Structure 1
Amino acid sequence: MTIDDLTKVKVLLSIKDSNQDDLLNLLLEDNEARLLSYINQDGNTSVKFPTELAWLLREITVRRFNRIGDEGKKSSSESDVSATWSDDDVQDFAVYLNKYRQRKGGRGTARFI
């Protein structure tokens, strides 16, 4: 049995209704495009998002969802609780993405003059 990414994100966020499905689907779609852009920056021709990186898509989606309302901030605090966010969620996972890119042929940029 396979569970789709939306359902998995909702489990991670403890969301039991469908009130925020449109927002979560938009975040999943945007994050998938961002990750594909990073993976394909060397001109690779990957057409589909690699399923082995689906965990990363969900992780970044949860991060972005939790940051809604605090866009543009580097940190926020309320009483004794504070949170700090990265400027670039994709860059935080570059080590995994770069390994995937190298396996699929993305080893850098060659320029002929």
Structure 2
Amino acid sequence: MAITYEIKKLLGGSSDERLEIIEKCTRERLLLILGSDLKEVPPELEYVVLDVSLKRFNRIGQEGMQSYSQEGLSMTFSESDF
């Protein structure tokens, strides 16, 4: 049920709700990547949470796309935000 709730908020919630979920998921994923017994993201890596959260927020609704092109506008996304 929690995953369904988060997906609904990401797709149709307010900006604050979206950012809250994205930040939580980004922190969890970063801690997993760091692979240690850390309970919190170290202060010196907070910029990673900010950068990745911003990238993910800007990609809402376009998560599966690798590239997009229309009338001179072209966007390309990397596979990993990290």
- Rg larger for: 1
Partner of 1:9: none
**What is the aligned-residue identity percentage?**
32
Where 2:38 maps in the other structure, the secondary structure is: coil
RMSD (Å) for aligned C-alpha atoms? 1.1
Match of 2:31 among 23, 31, 36: 36
Match of 1:60 among 45, 52, 57: 52
Structure 2 unaligned runs (5+)? 1-13
TM-score by length of 1: 0.57
Greater RCO (CA < 8 Å, at least 6 residues apart) = 1
Displacement of 1:78 in angstroms is 2.3
Runs of 4+ in 1 over 3 A off after TM superposition: none
1:22 aligned onto 2:48 = no
Whichever structure has more helix as a proportion of its residues is 2
1:2-39 Cα offsets, whole Å, 9 max, x none, are xxxxxxxxxxxxxxxxx410110100000111111000
Structure 1 unaligned runs (5+)? 1-18, 91-113
